[in-house]
A and B are shown apart, each in its own frame.
Chain A
Amino acid sequence: MLKIENLVVKVLEKTILENFNLEIHSGEIHALMGQNGAGKSTITKVLLRDTNYEVSKGKLILDDKDLLQMNTTDVARCGVFLISQNPVEIKGVTNAEMLRTSLIDQGKNELNILEFNRKMISYCEKLGIPKDFIHRDINYNMSGGEKKKMELLHLWMLEPKFIILDEIDSGLDVDSLKLVANSLKEYYELYKPSILIITHQKALVDILKPNYVHILNQKKIEVTGDINLAEKIFKEGFSGASIIDKSDKGE
């Protein structure tokens, strides 16, 4: 379970989040929505312990472990996995090289090199990714859609238990969005991870069907509801949705 309690986050002395509270139980899917600039991506970076984001107050607990005492590597090794809006390009480092190094370093290297390659190829086929992308540089010279599919390949290979999707839908056409959402659904049904989705897209919400939907406003979660809240936002925008009664969840 992830528990965020009274979190205050600053970037260059500017407060981005204040009294931010959220609980995500094992196997739950939560959607975090909000207007541009509300601080949605900030919480994803804080969870992964990006040192550009200073936590000046509050608690960040995952399965009884204090994430604030950890660095990014340790958090990732607790099973937290982030797919960001614009995954970085790293020239000269291939996807296979990175994944194999990660698995070996984490002691998850049960597969020999042939089985590792076979597994990667099977996921490539599932995700509609050309096989040679495995040996291409990470996200280098790839389209927005290809980058997101490669991130999904990483997800399937690393098998995380807490997934953060920061606008995974950006840069995806309709078909790619469905493929990505269905792949995530398949992963969820197989491994039952917790998922935090940040999105503006109805299609992703329709397929993943979050248990809870939160609206981030004024530096904290202002409203929490179920999937109907997301439906209302898609119809009426954030100003319309904010009149919904607050529930106890996440407040």
Chain B
Amino acid sequence: MNKIIVEQEELQLQEEEVIIDIFPDCLNLSVKGNVYCGIKTFTNKELNIHLEKESHLTLEFLIQVENSQNKITIQNEEDSGIDLHYACSYKGENILDIYNTLNTSNNNNQIFVRAVENGGTLIVQALGQIEEETKNNVYLEDIKAITNENNRIKIKPDLVVKSDSIHATHNATIAPVEKSELFYLESKGLTKEKAESLIKEGFLKGIIEKENLKN
């Protein structure tokens, strides 16, 4: 898979699979055709995605953030879609904003966020707005976080639906590490700390499709 260092504020991707390293604070990303894009570092960035007609983007983040404020905005032309997989471990005070206004039809946008605390707080604000007179759109937001008792996470899913031809869903789950998973790994001889670490890492990697990004 190609790796691209992005130094400009504009980038167009077309029928390709890439891992990108973004230098500017703001990037306007235009997508044509089927594109895979992986991101390993993303701190204090703004990413504006424009999906051209009949295009599809799989966008995967596997990142660590610390005192970071990230913003992702998605715009669809007709018959387009995005699978956004945002997996992060967080430290310090962090905010993630995801905005998606659908004012065209026949789009399929699926947004998955997985967050693991590593000492700190995270606020996730996800706004999906489906405008009137749009048809056959699918919109999914699925946000899950593993957290400890002493840390704080706030998830604010916000779904505004003005169309009656839409399949829209949003889920938000915040929970500590699953006890049965912990017991299972401990019963195979792993220490509690190692078991927790594997489970958290696996929770993040579980939504990532490409091995290149995981390694």
Residues of A whose CB lies within 8 Å of any CB of B are: 48, 50, 52, 71-73, 75-77, 81-82, 87-88, 90-93, 97-99, 101-102, 105-106, 137-138, 154, 158
The answer to whether A97 and B198 touch across the interface, beta carbons within 8 angstroms, is yes
The answer to whether B199 and A105 touch across the interface, beta carbons within 8 angstroms, is no
Closest 3 CB pairs between A and B?
A: A92-B202, A92-B206, A72-B186
Selected from B184, B199, B203, the residue in CB contact (under 8 A) with A87 is: B184
The answer to whether B180 and A91 touch across the interface, beta carbons within 8 angstroms, is no
CA distance A99 to B185 in the complex (A): 10
| B8 within 8 A of partner (CB) | no
The answer to whether A82 and B194 touch across the interface, beta carbons within 8 angstroms, is no
How many of chain B's residues touch chain A, expressed as a range?
20 to 34
A residues less than 8 Å from B183 (CB atoms)? 48, 50, 72
Instruction: Given A82-B187, A101-B190, A102-B188, decide whether A88 and B201 contact each other with a Cβ distance below 8 A.
Output: no
New contact pairs (14) apart from A48-B187, A50-B183, CB-CB < 8 Å:
A71-B186, A76-B186, A76-B188, A77-B189, A82-B187, A87-B184, A91-B203, A92-B199, A92-B206, A93-B185, A98-B185, A105-B194, A137-B206, A138-B184
A-B contact count (CB 8 A): 71
The answer to whether A98 and B186 touch across the interface, beta carbons within 8 angstroms, is no
CA distance A133 to B185 in the complex (A): 18
A-B contact pairs, 8 of them (CB 8 A): A48-B183, A71-B186, A72-B183, A82-B187, A91-B206, A92-B205, A105-B194, A137-B202
Taking the nearest CB of chain A, how far is it from the CB of B209, in angstroms? Answer: 12
A residues less than 8 Å from B191 (CB atoms)? 73, 105
CA distance A72 to B192 in the complex (A): 9
CA distance A50 to B186 in the complex (A): 10
Instruction: Given A92-B205, A98-B198, decide whether A73 and B192 contact each other with a Cβ distance below 8 A.
Output: yes
The answer to whether B202 and A72 touch across the interface, beta carbons within 8 angstroms, is no
Identity of the chain A residue whose Cβ is nearest the Cβ of B197 in the assembled complex: A101
| B65 within 8 A of partner (CB) | no
The answer to whether B186 and A92 touch across the interface, beta carbons within 8 angstroms, is no
Instruction: Given A98-B198, A101-B194, A137-B202, decide whether A88 and B180 contact each other with a Cβ distance below 8 A.
Output: yes
The answer to whether A101 and B198 touch across the interface, beta carbons within 8 angstroms, is yes
Taking the nearest CB of chain A, how far is it from the CB of B79, in angstroms? Answer: 31
The answer to whether B202 and A90 touch across the interface, beta carbons within 8 angstroms, is yes
A residues less than 8 Å from B16 (CB atoms)? none
The answer to whether A72 and B187 touch across the interface, beta carbons within 8 angstroms, is yes
B residues less than 8 Å from A81 (CB atoms)? 187-188
Identity of the chain B residue whose Cβ is nearest the Cβ of A155 in the assembled complex: B188
Taking the nearest CB of chain B, how far is it from the CB of A119, in angstroms? Answer: 16
Identity of the chain B residue whose Cβ is nearest the Cβ of A86 in the assembled complex: B180
The answer to whether A88 and B184 touch across the interface, beta carbons within 8 angstroms, is yes
| B25 within 8 A of partner (CB) | no
B residues less than 8 Å from A90 (CB atoms)? 181, 184-185, 199, 202
Identity of the chain A residue whose Cβ is nearest the Cβ of B204 in the assembled complex: A92
CA distance A93 to B185 in the complex (A): 10
The answer to whether B187 and A102 touch across the interface, beta carbons within 8 angstroms, is no
The answer to whether B194 and A93 touch across the interface, beta carbons within 8 angstroms, is no
The answer to whether A93 and B186 touch across the interface, beta carbons within 8 angstroms, is no
CA distance A77 to B185 in the complex (A): 12
A residues less than 8 Å from B205 (CB atoms)? 92
